[in-house]
A and B are shown apart, each in its own frame.
Chain A
Amino acid sequence: MTATVEINNVTKRFGEVDAVRDVSFALPEGETIALIGHNGAGKTTLLKLMLGLIRPSSGSIRVLGEDPAAGEFAARRRLGYLPENVSFNSALTGRETLAFYARLKREGNGAPAPLLERVGLSHAADRRVGTYSKGMRQRLGLAQALLGAPRILLLDEPTTGLDPALRQSFYEIIEELREQGATVLLSSHALTELEERAGRVVIMNQGAKVADGNLDELRRIARLPTRIRLKVAASGIADVESRLVPLGDWRRVNGHMLEIVAASDQKIELLRQATAEGGHIEDVDVAPPTLDELYAHFLRSQEVPR
C-alpha cells in the first residue's frame, strides 16, 4: 500500500500560537481515517496544510507525491475537499455551481448530473443555492468533493446538518470510494458514528498528535476496562455476586442486573467465572470501550505531564 499523504514533523505557527506541533503521519490508499479532536485541536489547520492553502512553519508535506503549496495542480485534480460549514454563492443554482467546479477540475459537462443524482439533489438542481437547507448545501458540498474521481477525500465535519438517512447514504458513498482505493480522511466530533466506519483513528489535542492506530490497537494501548452486564435470575443474584467480588469492580444495576468493569486482560477469565456451572445467568452484554471513552482517555493521559 502506498501512502497518498505524507506528513513529516510538521509545525504550523500563527503568531504566538502553535496550531500544529510536530505532527507526523502517513495516510495509505484505500483506508478511512478519522481525525478527531476538540475545536482548536488543529484538525482544520492540518487539512489546510494538506490542501496547500497554508504553508508549514517547519516540516514537509507530500500529497500524491507533490508539495501541495508549490503551485503544482496535478495532485489537486485528484483531491476532493469538503470544508467545515461549506458555503456557495447563493445566486447560482446547484447545477450551475457544480458545473463551475467541474470546469475547474477539467471534468466534462456530463459530470454534474450523475453526482447530483447520487447525493439526492436532482429535484433541486435548478433551484438557487440560496433556497437550500443546511443539509442540501452539505450534499452539494459532498457532490463537489466527489468531482473527478478523487484519490484523496478530505472531509471536515462532513455529517453536520445531515439527517440519519442521509448520513447512511453519505457513508455508503464514502465506503464505495474507499473500496476503489481512495484515501478518506474524516474530521469529526461525531465519534460514535465514526466508530464503525474508520479503520484508523488519529487523535489530536492542542496541535499535537496524541494517538494514532486502529480502534483495537488504541484499546490495547489505553487498557480501558470493558463493561460487562450480566442479567441474572433473581434467585441467583447473591450467588453470582459472591463469586465475582474478587474479580473486579462491579455494581448492581437493579434486582437482576449486574455491571462489571473488567480490565482487558481479565475479561475472559471473568466471563468464564461468571457463566461457569450454569443456571443463574440469563444474558450477557459486553461493551468494549467506545471511541468516546478512548478519546477522553487519551486527552486526559496527554494532559497529565503538562
Chain B
Amino acid sequence: MRNILIVAGKEIQEGLRNRWVLATTLLLAALALTLTFLGSAPTGNVGVRALDVVIVSLSSLTIFLVPLIALLISHDAIVGEMERGTMVLLLSYPVARWQVLLGKFAGHLAILAFATLVGYGAAAGALAATGTAIDPQSWTAFASMVGSSILLGAAFVAVGYCVSALVRDRGTAAGIAIGIWLMFVLIYDMALLGLLVVDQGRTVSGAVLSALLVLNPTDAYRLFNLTGSGNVSAFSGMAGIAQASHLTPLVLLAALAAWALVPLTFAAVAFSRREL
C-alpha cells in the first residue's frame, strides 16, 4: 500500500511539474465557463433550471475531452518509461509491478479528478455567483455528473494502460490510443445508428441495444447523465429513451466501473508477464 502511495505521489509531483495538472484544469475550466455562459444563449434564460442546462452541455464536453485527456496521460505510462529506461531502474527497487501500475493509476486519476472538480466546479461556482438560483436536486445531478466524469476518465486511463503494457514502442501506443478515442467517441455511435436504421427494429431488440450501449463507456456515461434526473433528461431530449431503457443508473455506473477495473486488471497481467 505504501509503495502504491509513493508511486502515486511521484506521478502527481511530475504532473504538477510538467504542467499537466495546470493545463488540463485550465482547459476544462475555460471550456466549462464558456459553455455555461454562452451555451445557455439558444435556450434563453430559463431561470431556475440553469444548472441543468450546464449539466447537459458539460456532459457532452466530457464525452469528447475526458477520454482524450485520460488516454494522453496513460498511453505512455508503461511503454514510455520502458523506452526512456526509467522502468528497469524502478523495478530493481523493492516494489512489485502491480504496485507500480496501481500507483500510477491512483496518481493519474488524482490529476484527472482535480482538473474535473476544479474546472467544472468553477463553472457551477460562477453560475451560483452570478445570482442564479439553483435547487438541491440540480446540485445532486451536477455532483453525480462530475463523479461519473471522473469514473469515465478512470475507464480510459485503464484502457490506456492496457495499450501501454502491450505494445513495443510509444508511437504505436499513441496511434492505438487515438484509434480507441475515435472508435468509442465518434465511430461507435455512428455505426450503432447506422445499424438501427438498416435493421428497422427487426433483429436488434431493446435488450440488445442496451447491451450495445453498455459496451461503450461513453454511451454508458451519456445515458447515466442525460437520463439521470427528470429535469436534465427533459432538456437533453432524452426523456423518452430514459423511460424505455432497461438501464438503470446503477447498471450504468456498474458498467463504467467495470470499464475501469477490467482493463486495469488486464493491464496488470500484461505488465507482469512482460520481459524487460
Which chain A residues have a beta carbon within 8 Å of chain B's beta carbons? 14, 48, 51, 53-54, 71, 73-74, 76-77, 79, 81, 83, 85-89, 91-92, 96, 100-101, 103-106, 128, 141, 144
Contact = CB atoms under 8 A, between A and B. Distances in A.
Given A92-B17, A100-B6, A103-B6, A81 B92 contact: yes
A71 B276 CA distance: 16
A49 B96 CA distance: 16
Given A53-B91, A100-B6, A105-B94, A92 B13 contact: yes
B275 A77 contact: no
Main secondary structure of the interface of B (DSSP, over half): helix
Contacts of B9: 100
Q: Which of B14, B89, B91, B276 has the most CB of A within 10 A?
A: B89
B202 interface: no
B17 A91 contact: yes
Given A71-B96, A87-B84, A81 B14 contact: no
Contacts of A88: 86
Given A83-B92, A100-B9, A104-B94, 19 more contacts: A53-B88, A53-B91, A76-B92, A83-B85, A85-B85, A86-B85, A86-B89, A87-B84, A91-B14, A91-B18, A92-B13, A92-B14, A100-B6, A100-B10, A104-B6, A104-B90, A105-B93, A106-B94, A141-B89
Nearest to B98: A71
21 contacts: A48-B88, A51-B92, A53-B88, A53-B92, A54-B276, A71-B96, A74-B94, A76-B94, A81-B89, A85-B85, A86-B85, A86-B89, A88-B86, A92-B10, A92-B13, A92-B14, A100-B6, A100-B10, A104-B6, A105-B93, A128-B17
A74 B93 CA distance: 10
B86 A76 contact: no
B48 interface: no
B95 interface: yes
Contacts of B95: 73, 104
Contacts of A86: 85, 89
Interface of B: 3, 6, 9-10, 13-14, 17-18, 84-86, 88-96, 275-276
A89 B86 contact: yes
B268 to A, nearest CB: 13
Contacts of A73: 94-96
B93 A101 contact: yes
Contacts of A81: 89, 92
Nearest to A86: B89
B18 A104 contact: no
B94 A77 contact: yes
Nearest to A71: B96
A91 B12 CA distance: 12
Given A54-B275, A87-B86, A104-B3, A79 B14 contact: no
A72 B243 CA distance: 54
Q: Which of B9, B10, B275 has the most CB of A within 10 A?
A: B10
A221 B172 CA distance: 51
A14 to B, nearest CB: 8
Contacts of B84: 87, 89
Contacts of A48: 88, 276
